[in-house]
Chain A
Amino acid sequence: MSSHTLKELLLVVCCLVISWALFIAVLLITNLFLVFAVILVAGLVIYGFSRWERGKASIVQAFQRQSRFAQVSMIVIFLCLPFILRSSPYWILILTLAILWIIVALGINIQFGSAGIINLGAAAFYGVGAYTAGMFATRLGTPPLLNLLLGAVMSTIVGSLLFIPLLKTKSHYLALVTIAFVMAFHNLLNNAEWLGGAQGIVGIPLMSVAGYSFTQEIKIWGLKLPSQANFYYLALLLGGLLGAASWRLWNSWVGLTWNSINEGTGDELSAKCMGVTAGRWSMIAFTIGNFYIGLAGAFYSHMTTFISPPDITFYQSLLFLSAVILGGVDSIPGVCLAAVLLVILPEKLRAFQQYWVMFFGIILVLMLILRRKGLIPARIRSYMRGIRPTSESLKTPGGPR
């Protein structure tokens, strides 16, 4: 092993350790001033690095060259998180919720980020998934794992109701259709007696897999993990699978096709001239996105054991969508980061609960005015091994060299 490789490995380890240590510190420290101090330090460090071109370049290079090592260590960290947080089950539950949000945000990223279909009705599809799982579990007693699938499938079926408006309308007209959909759906849930009305569905059984109940503690090597870790690991598995699928789609010709019909990154008319069936591809993107969102909803209802109309509002949809905007449109790492932040920050700032939404709105507006590309802007795809195109090289005739 050359000293160069060793240096890069060390750099990767340092970066991972520092960032995760800061993250866990934010979670575990209860003193609000300390939390603010840590967030401030983290912000300054990130800002400093984004200014220091050479440092940034060497870190990026290290991560690219040692990508397999970085991926493996990230997975190990994710698997170890419940062990580190085992004294505070609450935060394990919040992290599980964060993974559900990541799944939702990835779904919306396929719709809005890749294909440019603005979906302000995501909460409705989340609700379809959650209610389907709840109804099947309480009325028919179907096993929870099956319910996850049923919730996701039902969400895609309900989504197909919007296919015709999806094909006919564009930008803000389409946005209005999805807003009208979530408002009508909320109203319907509030009044439909057979769906539990304003009470929602209560007493949904907790998740269990093939007789293994998720209420028991995990014991590994003499260490006891709280029962919440069960949910965390299942959500991590699902999130990992869906995240990998989402990444593969983004990196393939499918993602490129979606980008070509997106009015932000491409041009629908030129795409059609090149033989892209724009309508079919937007329907596919919409359906896959709804599958993700519905699955997360179904998981949520089996985790909290109840679901009610106040969880399914237009405001909730806006929160989901803003994960994509804050993180970076069409940027998968950015979307994941923003989804986690949007779950953890309000939990951490409970003391300022009544001001949180106001701050959230201001942050959203500032991001949209000042940094429209998001926290981690989307990268340009590299299809050739070891060659990373920049925006300059794409402008030269003949494509990236």
Chain B
Amino acid sequence: MDTILNQIIHGLMLGVMYSLVAVGFTLFFGVLNLVQFAHGEIFMVGAFLGLIILNLLHSFLGIDSPAILLLICFIGSSALTALFGLLFGRITIRPIKDAPPVIALLTTLGAGISIRFFVMAFYPAGSQPQNFPGYLPDWQTEVHGVLLRFDSLFILVGGILLILGTYLFINKTKMGIAMRAVAQDRETASMMGVNINRVIDTTFVVSGVLAACAGIFNGLYYRQIIFDMGAIYGVIGFSAAVIGGLGSILGAIVGGFLFALLASFTSAFIPGGSAYRFVTAFAFLIFVLVIMPKGILQASRGKRET
């Protein structure tokens, strides 16, 4: 029982990070109708920018208070990653806006690996894992045999707040409504006076912020980041978005948690399963796509034709 609860907490914490990346994928798919496969690399860039900011603040300005450090790190990295995403979108995504989906997928894949190996080549000792300073307190407690760690709780709460914020942004603000309008029908939306290019830019900014926060969460939890971590996160985020149904935000969140819980349960309950956790998860993904080719939520609604 306790192991189950512990695994659920661990799965939820992982699920938050997966969902943050998956929401980015689903936003891109909704607004641009393409799969932005370099999103995993934007996540990685976010984590590295966070690390650079932390190191700069700590060693040059001598700030020691963890709270201030983390606050500046989150804000700075989000802003810079959003800017990076914006530039990336203008350079690579705009020219292929109307290309067939497979071309878009391959273009973003190619752009993604250039970003990944750019970081490897130009970050000092970039091919090695980089230590991420653990500024979160080591506090932990046990409630009825369930181990609660401060960093897990921090990530869980922070991630849920971010997801809620995105949800409110998409549903309540004018820009969010414009984004949904473009997702439904680009031409009609532009006739109604929606500036398509600005909507695209906003999509890159929003997903960049989410990816940067997920990247820093990842660094804070594992205390280590490496240049190729975007690859696996990209595939997981995309898978989560697809399981939930591409284009649906709620679906991406559900998919992220499902994927994470599946992976963490496999590693806990199948003997020797921790090595095979992604095998199960990906097999499950293929299975879901076979019975519901357009994802769980999309299949039940059956509205969008892609």
Contact A172 B101, CB 8 Å, known A362-B114, A364-B106, A369-B92: yes
Residue in A172, A322, A355, A372 whose beta carbon sits within 8 Å of that of B121 in the complex: A355
Q: Is the CB of A187 within 8 A of B107?
A: no
**A139 neighbours in B (Cβ, 8 Å):** none
Does A315 count as interface, using CB distance less than 8 angstroms? yes
Give the residues from 323 to 364 in chain A that come closer than 8 angstroms, CB to CB, to chain B: 325, 354-355, 357-362, 364
Contact A169 B103, CB 8 Å, known A184-B282, A369-B95: no
Residue in B92, B116, B118, B289 whose beta carbon sits within 8 Å of that of A365 in the complex: B92
Classify the secondary structure of A's interface with B: helix
Q: Is the CB of B278 within 8 A of A176?
A: no
Q: Is the CB of B105 within 8 A of A172?
A: yes
Q: Is the CB of B100 within 8 A of A361?
A: no
- Select from chain B the residue with minimum beta-carbon distance to A191: B275
Q: Is the CB of A360 within 8 A of B113?
A: yes
Interface residues on A, range: 35 or more
Q: Is the CB of A164 within 8 A of B290?
A: yes
Give the residues from 251 to 277 in chain A that come closer than 8 angstroms, CB to CB, to chain B: 263-264
**A314 neighbours in B (Cβ, 8 Å):** 231, 235
**Docked pose: A369 CA to B95 CA in angstroms:** 7
Does A171 count as interface, using CB distance less than 8 angstroms? yes
- Select from chain A the residue with minimum beta-carbon distance to B121: A354
The number of residue pairs between A and B whose CB atoms lie closer than 8 Å in the complex comes to: 125
Does A177 count as interface, using CB distance less than 8 angstroms? yes
Q: Is the CB of A176 within 8 A of B289?
A: yes
Q: Is the CB of B289 within 8 A of A358?
A: no
Q: Is the CB of B110 within 8 A of A180?
A: no
**Docked pose: A318 CA to B279 CA in angstroms:** 20
Give the residues from 102 to 137 in chain B that come closer than 8 angstroms, CB to CB, to chain A: 102-103, 105-107, 109-118, 120-121, 127
CB distance from B286 to the nearest CB of A (A): 5
Q: Is the CB of B276 within 8 A of A187?
A: yes
**A180 neighbours in B (Cβ, 8 Å):** 235, 239, 282-283, 285-286
Between B99, B282, B293, the greatest number of chain A beta carbons within 10 A of the residue's beta carbon is seen for B282
Contact A179 B279, CB 8 Å, known A168-B289, A361-B112: no
Cβ proximity bits B82-108 to A, threshold 8 Å, 1 near / 0 not: 000000000010011001111101110
Binding site for B on A (CB under 8 A): 118, 164-165, 168-173, 175-177, 179-181, 183-184, 187-188, 190-191, 263-264, 314-315, 318, 321-322, 325, 354-355, 357-362, 364-365, 368-369, 372
25 A-B pairs with C-beta separation under 8 A? A171-B102, A173-B294, A175-B35, A176-B285, A176-B289, A177-B285, A177-B286, A183-B278, A184-B279, A184-B283, A263-B100, A264-B100, A318-B110, A325-B106, A358-B118, A360-B114, A361-B110, A361-B114, A361-B115, A362-B110, A364-B106, A365-B110, A368-B96, A368-B107, A369-B92
